[in-house]
Amino acid sequence: MDRLVFLTATGLARGLVVALFALSLVIVWRAARLVNFAQAAVATVAVFAAFAVTGATGSFWAGLGAALLAGAALNAAVERGLMRRVPSGSPLPGMIVAIGLVMVLQSALGIAFGPRHRPMAAAFDERPLVVGGVPLLSPYDLFVLVVALVVVGLLAWLFNGTSLGLQLRASAAAPEVSRLLGVRVPRMVTLGWALSGAVAALAALLLVPTELGLNAHSADLLFVHAFTVAVLGGLDSPAGALVGGVAVGLLVSLVTGYLGAGVAPLAVLALLTLVLLVRPGGIFAVGEVRAA
Amino acid sequence: MTPALAVEGLTVGYAGAPVLDELALTVAPGEIVALLGANGAGKTTLLRALSGLTAPRAGRVLLDGADLTAVSVEDRARRGLAQVPEGRSVVTELTVDGNLHLGALWRHPGRAARRAAVARTYELFEPLGRRRASLGHQLSGGERQMLALGRALLARPRVLLLDEPSLGLAPRVVAQLLGVLRAAARDTGLTVLLAEQNVTSALSVADRGVVLSLGVVVADAPAAELAGDPALRHAYLGF
Amino acid sequence: MTTTTSTTPARPAARRPEPRARGRLTPTQRILLRAVLLTLLAVAATFVLDPYRNYQLAVVAATFCATAGLTLLVGLTGQLSLGHAVLMAAGGYGYALAANAAAGAGLDGDGPAGVARVVLGLGGALVASGAVGGLLGLAGARLRGPYLAGLTLAMVVALPALTTQVPALGGDQGLAVPFEGVPQALSRLIVVEQWHAWLAIAVAALAVTPLALLRSGRAGLRMRAVHGDETAARLAGVSPGRVKVGAFVASSLAAGLGGAVLCLVTQSIGPGRYDLAFSLLLVVAAVVGGLGSLGGAAAGAALVVLLPWLVDTVTAAVGVPADLEQRLSGNLAVLVFGALLIVVTLAWPGGLARAVARRPRPRPRPQPRGRTDAPATPPQPSER
């Protein structure tokens, strides 16, 4: 029973990180109607930036700021430099370009930094607090929880409560009509990408200290999990990303705890397959059906 | 007097088969002009070219005498050239309120000013006032067009382009819509270019009628004349 | 193996036998003739290559099986699979299990037993990869592009986990397979690498020729129809679901045979080789070669096998410090491949195949950019 509680608590915390990353995918989907396969690679570059800055200044928060900036800037550059040139009409070229970008970024990181996993120190203690004899969340998990909820709240406020958010949503939903109303749609699309990059960077930054270490492939698994979440929740639903993230986090935590870490990817694959076959629209999806 | 809108030698379309062929047209400030013609005559293409959604192969568009050739779609809107495009123009993911605020955004910086402007729109279009929180896709056809019109007017445009606003609407609703349009135009001195297949309704609110056929202007006469001349009507309007 | 050099929607193949002048061949016969000629050419080449090159040739041939299937799948039906490495792996494991079982059942040693082992092994490969491909195809038929791609991605990532969980698959170490030596009769003439190259070439011909036939026939037409417009295809009596699944299965079978060959040539199969990176290399080969072009797939296969080796050789020769050399190994080639993917997709959509096409199509005129330039968002209907 203790074990269950502990696994559930950690699953929740991990799930929120995955949910954050999934949220970043949702933002890009809403802005550009595509799945940004390069998101994890961009996030990894941002975490390397944070690593370098924290190493140089000794400050975690400076590193965090660097990661957010790097993620935003890189994603914006990708959108303006690459994605705009992709022929529309079929999602295929966009996917292929994103994959090419992943290869370029990951190999560049590999060349620059080598294959070694660099351990990253967590900002807070990672040992779980013991409450009433039951190990629960660690201070780090609590930090993750707080950050994730704050970010989700901020994004919700931005998109639903501000005029900038209104423009972002309108640009994504109806770009032509928005332009006719004077909205600077290209700028909004870039902004959406930048925002998404920052959120993805944050998620990866929260994740890496809890894993083996930082290397070029750190975020690969995160991407697969987040993609599963996005599919589970429906790519256009932030609420779905949240719920789906927690669900996947719990699943991974429980499977790892009871069946071993090796089985977790299989469980995620099984879940993904199940959802795609049974509810192709995603459990919370509002809009686009993704059946062929 | 500088025309509010002037089109010179506008050619749009493919090399061997232009959709608009060196088209020329002027609209005086405060005029309401009905743009008529059969399906495929080029009305929508013209409106899209005016707003910058389609690039012409030749010719130019002038707004109050200023050449719009290098001006982007959104900047044309900000200079006062608004359009209510055909059919799908209400943003279905947003509420009525959201749509209106979107239209009021750049013209009314500041929440208070925007709220006031939107409130005035609700007064002008009563049915919208009752459905503020409804999402775009929950509205009826007539309500959507009303919303699109109200939204366009919120930006206080100089020139308003409308593409087939009556499409799919009941005659009574069309009459109501055009009535509001005409009143708003008179009040604010708005210039209107109204593309329509519903000839009678269009000519009933317009000052002038321009008939398009195969990408060129074939008739340009005061509305009353067009409506009243059987020969013209037969030749170009089919009845 | 056939080298079709046009990647743009081709004229439909002849529906009825054309009235033949004496000596004119039907498309089918042409393809078969080409396959035979190219196979003989490849076999002849093995005589002038040294053993290591023959080994590389075998690897290229195996990779070609997979890239041929992939290029048709993506080019003709628009389904992007990021998991073709898993299909190769399935073929490899199928081969290993079947061949080992055959050896265990008494079919060990050289000569006819060897042939039987290989044949049974190939059969196992086909069953395994066909099954996995069929399941994936069923999923793919219901999903749009990014979702299928994501599913195949998840599959690739989960492969090591699967092999660890199923003991029969040998976990991280993988499985070993019987060594197929040169048959007695030829043992004076050729060495084992050349023998393996022959086997690889033969299997590649076996795998790719049906793909070529499929492509030029009615099936290929159906695939293009479905890719172009599913609704229209349905109205014409073509079932998009069935066509997509069929395409997937066909490409999986080919990939499976490729995996079997790799297994044979390296005498082992393990999850380590069949990772995401390898899947992406297959995509690179298909895209750079030209989607839909079999000749392009061959060129692409050669590219992705040989370039990393070339990079390693050059960096060693140039005398780069050991640490840097290790970091460049693998990574530099991937960097180049990623850049190629981007450049080819944006600037050169036909890939290598279009570059050498005999009748180059005129480049599409660039749209006037500037004020009407919309961002890369597809036009969205805002009303439904």
CB-nearest partner of A180 from B77, B92, B114: B77
Contacts of A279 in chain C (CB under 8 A): none
Residue A84 has pLDDT above 60, yes or no: yes
Higher pLDDT, residue C154 or B236: C154
Contacts of A104 in chain C (CB under 8 A): 335, 338-339, 342
Name residues whose C-beta falls within 8 Å of residue B234's C-beta, 6 or more positions apart in sequence: none
Closest chain C CA to residue B53: C372
Reported as a pLDDT band with limits 50, 70 and 90, residue A280 is: low
Residue A207 has pLDDT above 70, yes or no: yes
Q: Which of residues 56-75 of C touch B (CB under 8 A)?
A: none
Give yes or no for C60 touching A (CB within 8 A). no
| pLDDT tens per residue, range A134-162 | 777 788 888 888 888 899 889 989 988 89
pTM of the model: 0.82
- Please, what's the largest Cα pairwise distance for chain A? 63
**What is the residue-averaged pLDDT of chain A?**
85
Contacts of C367 in chain B (CB under 8 A): 55
Closest CA of chain A from C62, distance in Å: 23
**What is the residue-averaged pLDDT of chain C?**
81
Please say whether the beta carbons of A99 and C283 come within 8 A: yes
Q: Which pLDDT value is given to residue C10?
A: 47
Token reading at C212: 């070529």
| Choice among B36-40, B132-136, B228-232 with the minimum mean pLDDT | B228-232
Is C150 in contact with A280 (Cβ distance < 8 A)?
no
Reported as a pLDDT band with limits 50, 70 and 90, residue C2 is: very low
CA proximity to A43, closest of A160, A175, A214: A214
Please say whether the beta carbons of C171 and A120 come within 8 A: no
| pLDDT tens per residue, range A96-130 | 999 999 999 999 998 888 888 888 777 777 777 77
What does the alpha-carbon distance between residue A49 and residue A54 come to, in Å, rounded to a whole number?
A: 9
Neighbours of C288 (CB within 10 A): 25
What does the alpha-carbon distance between residue B211 and residue B193 come to, in Å, rounded to a whole number?
A: 12
Single-letter residue type at B219? A
Give yes or no for C379 touching A (CB within 8 A). yes
Q: Which pLDDT value is given to residue B74?
A: 94
Residue C5 has pLDDT above 60, yes or no: no
Please say whether the beta carbons of B182 and B162 come within 8 A: no
What does the alpha-carbon distance between residue C169 and residue C322 come to, in Å, rounded to a whole number?
A: 36
Q: How far is CA C73 from CA A103, C52, C214, in A?
A: 22, 32, 12
| Interval C223-243 mean pLDDT | 80
Contacts of A37 in chain C (CB under 8 A): 146, 149
Residue A39 has pLDDT above 80, yes or no: yes
Contacts of B91 in chain A (CB under 8 A): 170, 173-174, 177-178
Reported as a pLDDT band with limits 50, 70 and 90, residue B239 is: low
Single-letter residue type at A6? F
- Match 């770009």 to its residue by tokens: A175
**DSSP structure class, residue A84:** G
Give yes or no for B88 touching C (CB within 8 A). yes
Residue C376 has pLDDT above 90, yes or no: no
Contacts of C368 in chain B (CB under 8 A): 55
CB-nearest partner of A263 from C165, C240, C244: C165
Q: Which pLDDT value is given to residue A71?
A: 96
Residue B14 has pLDDT above 80, yes or no: no
Q: Which of residues 195-254 of C touch A (CB under 8 A)?
A: 230, 240-241, 244
CA proximity to B178, closest of B186, B168, B166, B189: B166
pLDDT > 70 in chain A, percent: 94
Single-letter residue type at A269? L
What does the alpha-carbon distance between residue C39 and residue C56 come to, in Å, rounded to a whole number?
A: 16
Is C283 in contact with A96 (Cβ distance < 8 A)?
yes
Name residues whose C-beta falls within 8 Å of residue B103's C-beta, 6 or more positions apart in sequence: A181, B150, B151, B152, B153, B154, B155
Closest chain B CA to residue A287: B93
Q: Which of residues 133-162 of A touch C (CB under 8 A)?
A: none
Q: Which pLDDT value is given to residue B238?
A: 66
Closest chain B CA to residue A182: B74
Single-letter residue type at C68? A
Residue C3 has pLDDT above 50, yes or no: no
Q: Which pLDDT value is given to residue C383?
A: 36
Reported as a pLDDT band with limits 50, 70 and 90, residue C379 is: very low
Buried b (16+ CB within 10 A) or exposed e, A11-20: bbbbbbbbbb
Highest mean pLDDT among A30-39, A228-237, C60-69: C60-69
What does the alpha-carbon distance between residue B100 and residue B114 come to, in Å, rounded to a whole number?
A: 9
Burial class (CB in 10 A: 0-12, 13-18, 19+), A186: buried
Give yes or no for C161 touching A (CB within 8 A). yes
Residue C382 has pLDDT above 80, yes or no: no
Give yes or no for C320 touching A (CB within 8 A). no
CB-nearest partner of B90 from C370, C371, C383: C383
Is B137 in contact with C372 (Cβ distance < 8 A)?
no
Closest CA of chain C from A215, distance in Å: 13
Higher pLDDT, residue B49 or A261: B49
Residue C6 has pLDDT above 50, yes or no: no
Q: Which pLDDT value is given to residue C20?
A: 53
Highest mean pLDDT among A79-83, A168-172, A195-199, B216-220: A195-199
Residue B83 has pLDDT above 90, yes or no: yes
Residue A41 has pLDDT above 60, yes or no: yes
Residue A290 has pLDDT above 60, yes or no: no
| Choice among A32-41, C10-19, C181-190 with the minimum mean pLDDT | C10-19
**DSSP structure class, residue C365:** P
Is C283 in contact with A99 (Cβ distance < 8 A)?
yes
What does the alpha-carbon distance between residue A173 and residue B69 come to, in Å, rounded to a whole number?
A: 27
Residue C247 has pLDDT above 70, yes or no: yes
| Interval A230-251 mean pLDDT | 84
**What is the residue-averaged pLDDT of chain B?**
88
Reported as a pLDDT band with limits 50, 70 and 90, residue B161 is: very high
Give the torsion sign (CA, B183, B188, B191, B195). Answer: negative
Is C342 in contact with A82 (Cβ distance < 8 A)?
yes
DSSP string, B199-231: HHHHHHH-SEEEEEETTEEEEEEEHHHHHH-HH
Q: Which pLDDT value is given to residue C381?
A: 42
| Choice among A182-196, B72-86, B185-199, C215-229 with the minimum mean pLDDT | C215-229
CB-nearest partner of B51 from A163, A166, A180: A180
Q: What count of CB pairs under 8 Å joins A to C?
A: 201
Reported as a pLDDT band with limits 50, 70 and 90, residue C23 is: low
Residue A193 has pLDDT above 50, yes or no: yes
Q: Which pLDDT value is given to residue A199?
A: 96
ipTM: 0.92
| Choice among A117-131, A203-217, C72-86, C120-134 with the minimum mean pLDDT | A117-131
What does the alpha-carbon distance between residue B29 and residue A21 come to, in Å, rounded to a whole number?
A: 53
Closest chain A CA to residue B154: A181
| pLDDT tens per residue, range C82-99 | 889 999 999 999 999 998
| Interval A167-171 mean pLDDT | 92
Residue A131 has pLDDT above 60, yes or no: yes
Contacts 24+ apart (CB under 8 A), B175-184: B175/B201, B176/B142, B177/B142, B177/B145, B177/B146, B177/B149, B178/B202, B178/B204, B178/B205, B179/B205, B180/B124, B180/B125, B180/B146, B180/B149, B181/B149, B181/B205, B182/B32, B184/B124, B184/B153
pLDDT > 90 in chain C, percent: 25
Chain B residues at the A interface, defined by Cβ less than 8 Å, are 51, 53, 72-74, 77-78, 82-83, 85, 88-89, 91-94, 98, 101-103, 105-107, 114, 151-152, 155
Q: Which pLDDT value is given to residue A286?
A: 46
CB-nearest partner of A224 from C147, C157, C375: C157
Reported as a pLDDT band with limits 50, 70 and 90, residue A43 is: very high
| pLDDT tens per residue, range C323-346 | 888 888 888 999 999 999 999 988
CB-nearest partner of B92 from C367, C370, C382: C382
Contacts of A228 in chain C (CB under 8 A): 150, 154
CB-nearest partner of B74 from A166, A173, A184: A184
Give yes or no for C20 touching B (CB within 8 A). no
CB-nearest partner of A176 from B53, B92, B103: B53
Contacts of B103 in chain A (CB under 8 A): 181
Strand pairing report for B208-213 and B18-27: unpaired
Residue A55 has pLDDT above 60, yes or no: yes
Token reading at A61: 């928060």
Closest chain B CA to residue C372: B53
CA proximity to B196, closest of B69, B61, B41, B48: B41
Buried b (16+ CB within 10 A) or exposed e, A144-165: bbebbeebbeebeeebeeebee
| Choice among A21-25, C6-10, C27-31 with the minimum mean pLDDT | C6-10
Closest chain C CA to residue B93: C382
Name residues whose C-beta falls within 8 Å of residue A213's C-beta, 6 or more positions apart in sequence: A116, A117, A118, A119, A120
Contacts of B49 in chain A (CB under 8 A): none
Give yes or no for B214 touching C (CB within 8 A). no
DSSP string, C268-311: EE-TTTSSHHHHHHHHHHHHHH-TT-HHHHHHHHHHHHHHHHHH
Reported as a pLDDT band with limits 50, 70 and 90, residue A244 is: confident
Give yes or no for A264 touching C (CB within 8 A). yes
CA proximity to B223, closest of B43, B34, B41: B34
Is B137 in contact with C381 (Cβ distance < 8 A)?
no
Give yes or no for B15 touching C (CB within 8 A). no
Is C383 in contact with B144 (Cβ distance < 8 A)?
yes
| Interval C47-67 mean pLDDT | 91
What does the alpha-carbon distance between residue B49 and residue C195 come to, in Å, rounded to a whole number?
A: 67
